Structure 1
């Protein structure tokens, strides 16, 4: 039973690892786009709304789709005044309760509240309000649901890892 939990945890961790590494490449495009926006504006006295929006799209994708990778490596914001002093089992209990009582319900709420918002955007194939902007606002809004999926999957991996640690702290279900 525990080996199955560990196997599923590793499968989700692998998915998150690949997704995170893929998304990290978007940083290069975002930096290059930002540099190009600045050069166009201050050197050539020109601007591109589509390029500026493209940088915003990349930032949204990095933030929303990279969130699970951050959770996997325990790099998310945490108030750890006490947490750092806990035993591995104490940390597992905090992680389990935090994920079950805070993370997963919040993701469920985000899904329920954003579904109509995203659906309506797709229905109208929503475009930028700027005439020279990008015609893919509906794709950008869909990333909200992507956040729920990737972070939810990694949340499940964290629950499984915590359960494994609580039952058998000697078994390896690491996230690295």
Structure 2
């Protein structure tokens, strides 16, 4: 049984480390988004210039931040939660709620997102879909691929959460506050 818990702890730590690195990288995209927006405003109002590619890059960056940051937000327990019951529970009951929520809500929904977006993304790759606007970014298929990446990262972080909660609940000698 010790090997089982040890494997879960190591696996959860490895997944958490990966998600943490991705989240820290993605956080820099918000700075890039602000700088590009600033440039767009300067170019438009000072020089009367506008490029569709720059405007679309804001949309792409926004999408990347949300899609690639979802698992990081989950790792840091930053998603919206109805705290009417949860806040009054003991740590062990909270762990059970998290475990069951992950098992019966998060993993099935993320799996469905992965499954349902697969064909959509692949058809975009088949034609190397680009912007519909003249002068726009030719990489729509890459942005759509982030749907698969988001789902996969949510599944990974969900598995990490699941393993952590199993260890917390069932490992002998664990103090539950």
What is the RMSD of the two structures over their aligned residues, measured on CA atoms? 1.4
The counterpart of 1:42, out of the listed 33, 41, 45, is 45
Structure 2 counterpart of 1:166: 169
Query: Larger % of helix: which?
Result: 2
Cα shift at 1:168: 3.0
| Count of equivalent residues | 172
Residue by residue over 1:31-59, the C-alpha shift from the partner in whole angstroms, topping out at 9 and shown as x without a partner, is 10111111222222221110011111111
- Alignment gaps of 5+ in structure 1: none
CA contact (8 A) 2:114 2:151 kept: yes
Structure 2 counterpart of 1:145: 148
Q: Distance between the aligned counterparts of 2:115 and 2:74, measured in 1?
A: 22
Q: 1:91 to 1:133 in 2, by over 3 A?
A: same
- Confirm whether residue 134 of structure 1 aligns to residue 137 of structure 2: yes
- Confirm whether residue 96 of structure 1 aligns to residue 99 of structure 2: yes
Q: State the TM-score, normalizing by the size of structure 2.
A: 0.93
Moved over 6 A (4+): none
- Confirm whether residue 61 of structure 1 aligns to residue 73 of structure 2: no
CA contact (8 A) 2:8 2:163 kept: yes
Residue by residue over 1:113-139, the C-alpha shift from the partner in whole angstroms, topping out at 9 and shown as x without a partner, is 111110000000001000110000000
The counterpart of 1:154, out of the listed 143, 152, 157, is 157
Structure 1 counterpart of 2:120: 117
- Alignment gaps of 5+ in structure 2: none
